[in-house]
Amino acid sequence: MSEVVLAYSGGLDTSVCIPLLRERYSFDKVTTVLVDVGQPEEDLVRGDLRAEKLSDEHYHIDAKEEFAREYLFPLIKANGSYEGYVLGTAIARPLIAKKAVEIALEKGVKALAHGCTGRGNDQLRFEAIFRTTALDCIAPMRDLDLSREWEIDYAREHGIDVPVTKERPWSIDENLWSRSIEGGHLEDPSFEPPEEIYAWTKAPDALTPSQIVEIGFESGVPVSLDGQAMGPVELIVRLNVIGGRHGVGRTDMIEDRVLGLKARENYEHPAATILLTAHKDLERLVLSRSELRFKASVDDAWSELAYMGLLDDPLYADLNAFLDQANSRVNGFVRMKLYCGSASPVGRFSPDALYAQDMVSFDSETLSQRDAEGFSKYHGFQARLMRRKA
């Protein structure tokens, strides 16, 4: 008997894949794996119900804690950002792929499938992990070159209730870290997104009074909210709600996909914006000037690998080793002011700060200003020499 394990999201593409894998690829058994990385509860429930109706065997895996600790913590240490995108979808794909691989190997199944199209980045991210095994790798959407219209008709014929309509054609991807909205009129980069595409954030509103949140960090990762110790899943969920009320973390951007296509992308990610801004601010207090300079290039290299889904590249582990070391002193807290769409640091403290108030102060008596005179004589020395020759 031939069997395939499908990484299943509950959406249109992966739902259509189930009958396709039987009809077009002659599999006798389709096993679906739905990985919970913080999607809305109703999507998970709907996904499970659909899978139970359509597939032969279904797994639901709660991977929120692993996602936060093993994937989002490194991202925070790396100030993860690709062209301004907080990498929510990108960083979740390798984990989803890994869970599907684990189940296939456990069951002795020889083939893996995903529902990604041939236009985006996700196919690359899934397969970078799938192909670490010798299992067959099947991508029906890409392989059969299907259009969305065709899929919708096919879904109806197979009794799959279609989650998209002509009026609300959005393709949405959600997890703890971000929510992306694509498709329909949004594909025209000059079209202003209607308010209805947003679900996590209210429109920024100057009449909503500002709010301060205090984020505590240990070794570069968030561990408390307003002085209360908190696990990462709860902390992120709470910050998404709090930040969302202030319209924090909306991004409307043109993004360069790995294949080279430019895409218009819309995202919302209140917690990610608050945490990344706070983390970067605390790093500025704690890390040396040379560490900060060098780390910016590490952050960029890390973000690019994460965007491409190349977490299996040895460079990823190398960079993480540096990030762990550099973040080992990133302890303390940052107070963030949330107001009208912005999240700004308004105070920070660290027991490891490289900050000497007694020296930098206007009223300092520790250092004599005169000591700087010798330094200033050498400063710009070569430029002065050159001009003398001109």
Q: How far apart are CA 269 and CA 200, in angstroms?
A: 8
- Active-site choice (15, 50, 93, 350): 93
Q: Whose Cβ is closer to ligand ARG: residue 278's or residue 310's?
A: 310
147 is catalytic: no
Q: Whose Cβ is closer to ligand ARG: residue 55's or residue 89's?
A: 89
Per CB under 6 A, contacts with ligand ARG among 246-265 are: 255, 265
Q: Whose Cβ is closer to ligand ARG: residue 259's or residue 346's?
A: 259
Q: How far apart are CA 34 and CA 20, in angstroms?
A: 18
Residue 32 CB, nearest approach to ligand ARG (Å):
18
- Active-site choice (15, 48, 81, 122): 122
56 is catalytic: no
Q: How far apart are CA 243 and CA 224, in angstroms?
A: 16
Token readout for 308 is 């491409």
Residue 97 CB, nearest approach to ligand ARG (Å):
13
Residue 208 CB, nearest approach to ligand ARG (Å):
28
The CA angle 94-91-35, to the nearest 5 degrees, is 55
Token readout for 276 is 């990344």
Residue 355 CB, nearest approach to ligand ARG (Å):
37
* Percent of residues in the chain assigned helix, strand, coil, to nearest 5: 45, 20, 35
Determine, following the binding rule CB under 6 A, whether residue 14 of this chain makes contact with ligand ARG: no
Determine, following the binding rule CB under 6 A, whether residue 182 of this chain makes contact with ligand ARG: yes
DSSP string for residues in 195-221: GGG-SS-PPP-TTSPPEEEEEEEETTE
Residue 232 CB, nearest approach to ligand ARG (Å):
21
Token readout for 281 is 């601010």
Per CB under 6 A, contacts with ligand ARG among 81-140 are: 89-90, 120-122
Residue 108 CB, nearest approach to ligand ARG (Å):
30
93 is catalytic: yes
Q: Whose Cβ is closer to ligand ARG: residue 183's or residue 218's?
A: 183
- Active-site choice (56, 62, 148, 171): 171
- What is the spatial order of strands in the sheet that 332-339 belongs to? 228-229, 221-225, 211-218, 332-339, 342-349
DSSP 70: I
One symbol per residue from 41 to 70: x for binding ligand ARG (CB under 6 A), - otherwise; what is it? ------------------------------
Which of residues 123, 180, 277, 303 is near ligand ARG by CB under 6 A? 180
Distance of CA 134 to the CA centre of its chain: 28
Burial class of residue 7 (count of CB atoms within 10 Å of its CB; 0-12, 13-18, 19+): buried
Q: Whose Cβ is closer to ligand ARG: residue 182's or residue 283's?
A: 182
Token readout for 76 is 């925070």
H/E run at residue 244 = helix 232-245
Backbone angles phi, psi at 120, to 5 degrees: -110, -170
DSSP 337: E
Which residues are paired to 181 by β-bridges? 172, 266
How many residues belong to the site for ligand ARG (CB under 6 A)?
11
387 is catalytic: no
Q: Whose Cβ is closer to ligand ARG: residue 87's or residue 282's?
A: 87
Residue 267 CB, nearest approach to ligand ARG (Å):
8
Contact 63, 232 (CB under 8 A): no
Residue nearest to ligand ARG according to CB distances in the complex: 89
Determine, following the binding rule CB under 6 A, whether residue 173 of this chain makes contact with ligand ARG: yes
Where do contacts with ligand ARG occur on this chain (CB under 6 A)?
89-90, 120-122, 171, 173, 180, 182, 255, 265
> Hey, which residues are catalytic here?
13, 93, 122, 171
